Structure 1
Amino acid sequence: MPRRSGSTWLPDQHGAWAMLAVPFLAGTLLAPRPGWAHAALFASWLLAYAAVFHGQQWLRLRRVARRRPDAAARHVRPALVLGAACAALGTPLAVAHPWLPLAAAAAAPFLAVNTWYAWRGRERALANGLAAVVPACGMLLVAAGLGGMPAASAWRPALACLLYFAGTVPYVKTMIRERNSRAYRRGSVGYHAAAVAAAAFLSPWTAIPFAAYLARAAALPGRALKPPAVGAIEIACSAALLVTLAAAFSG
């Protein structure tokens, strides 16, 4: 059955949504002065992600599906419309807060890496996933700064986000695409063990969910869980991270 035309506008990278939302929401919750600007920035952030996704898919399909020009062409309109909507929302924010374009520029190298991997048709590469994590977690600093929280206070929760979401990249591979790879399992467990120690350094409270993340990285691979179940577990883990950050670093 063909998908409805409207559904093709929504990126199908379901695992990305928590990574897009949790750091931003954490920064907003921790900010001393959250406001309507956060809602506009969050909408701009999601629109930018969707526009970039379609742009990258256009590049990828132009290269790998040359005999089907329609496959690439269907991404043009979403990329342009979503990009224009992002610009319409983001321009007033950039005028009111001139440091926001500088924050966007800081994400450009990581965006370039993701675009290169998309063009090469290697979006599932480990390095590509890790590159995507960095600007997403950096949005905690942006959201916190927009609400008056200095970077000196926001770096610890931002690093906690980075530790968690970087760990999801190899962990999810051990559950799906690399389920039979012992090297990936060992690497994932080793990373999560180190992340517990790093999280404890940031705050004793953050060590609690990270210990749970280590347990799931060690115990769940090999249990033949279906992708929806893997996704549901990660949603719960992301929610636990958000609650912990709000409790551990507020005030």
Structure 2
Amino acid sequence: MARRRGSEWIPDQHGAWAMLAVPFLAGTLLSPRPGWAHAALFAAWLLGYAAVFHAQQWLRLRGRGLRSAGRHARPALVFGAAFAASGIPLAMLHPWLCGAALLAAPFVAVNTYYARTGRERALTNGLAAVVPACGMLLVAARLGGLSPAAAWPPALACLLYFAGTVPYVKTMIRERNSRAYRAGSVAYHAAALAGAACLSPWLAVPFAAYLTRAAALPGRGLRVPLVGATELACSAALLLTLPLLF
């Protein structure tokens, strides 16, 4: 039972972890001066996500009048306190981090609204979550001394990829029978391929693979774990590619 209770504290949105990690790690790897501050900020970033996740679940379940909302209250408070303990010292050393948090706040508000109304699977909600996650590449890069001009292209590459995962994953699971979603996903990935090639011609290689999987895999009945493993491989390919190109 102890293991089961502990596992309930870990957010079960498995696809979110790659989106949380890849842009941040890419920004760190691209930095001229990666250091302990990146490790502290990464911890604060993950703790903040966990706190917000549980707070949103508490709002969602409480809005439906369910007593199960209570199980999210303690994790939200504990993770929130841990986030403050790790984030406040960083903000004192680097006050510009507060500005970055303010820029992310509207997107968190959108996610909270969709959670409160029980529409977390909405396309808009998924896209809103992608923006601040990819923005962490800019934050990690600046923390390590990389100029904004050098950080924007890889951040945009992350945005192009992770925005595409939102409709693509829907075509594999919840919208697997929707021709409109499939067509929209393929059209987006084709546009993303063109955009990525403008950032760097070599980015056309992974983005061509992303387009191929968006066109070829829906409708083949792949199991959810295999869909997740495929996306992890695609995310890892992006993480390996960005430091080589930028």
TM-score band by shorter chain is over 0.9
Partner of 1:22: 22
Shift of residue 150, structure 1, vs aligned partner: 1.1
Mapping for residues 55-134 of structure 1, pairs under 5 Å: 55-64=55-64, 66=65, 68-69=66-67, 71-134=68-131
Aligned partner of 1:234 in structure 2 is 231
Q: Distance in 1 between matches of 2:177 and 2:2?
A: 33
Greater helix share, 1 or 2?
Answer: 2
- CA drift of 1:206 comes to 1.1
Provide runs of 4+ in structure 1 moved above 3 Å.
Answer: none
Once the two structures are TM-superposed, the CA of residue 248 in structure 1 deviates from its matched residue by 0.3
Question: In the alignment, is residue 203 of structure 1 matched against residue 200 of structure 2?
Answer: yes
Residues 143-186 of structure 1: CA deviation (Å, up to 9, x unaligned): 00000001111000000000000000000000000000000000
- How many equivalent residue pairs? 246
Partner residue, 2:39: 39
Amino acid at match of 2:31: A
C-alpha distance in structure 2 between counterparts of 1:134 and 1:244, whole Å: 20
The amino acid of 2:218's aligned partner reads P
* TM-score, normalisation: structure 1: 0.97
- TM-score, normalization: structure 2? 0.99
Separation in 2, partners of 1:2, 1:88: 26
Match of 1:178 in 2: 175
Q: Partners of 1:61 and 1:3 in 2: how far apart?
A: 23
Deviations 1:87-111 (A, max 9, x none): 1001110000010010001000000
**1:207: how far off?**
1.1
Taking only aligned residues, the RMSD between alpha carbons, in angstroms, comes to 1.1
Partner of 1:143: 140
**In structure 1, how many angstroms separate the alpha carbons of the residues matched to 2:201 and 2:239?**
15
- How big is the shift at 1:2? 10
Offset of 1:204 from its aligned partner?
Answer: 0.9
Aligned partners of 1:219, 1:3: CA distance in 2, in Å? 39
Gaps spanning 5+ residues in structure 1: where? none
Looking at structure 1, the residues matched to 84 and 161 of structure 2 have their Cα atoms a distance apart, in angstroms, of 30
Alignment map for 1:3-22 (pairs within 5 Å) = 4-22=4-22
Q: Which residue of 2 aligns with 1:246?
A: 243
**What is the alpha-carbon distance in structure 2 between the residues aligned to residue 75 and residue 3 of structure 1?**
16
Distance 1:62 1:49, change over 3 A: same
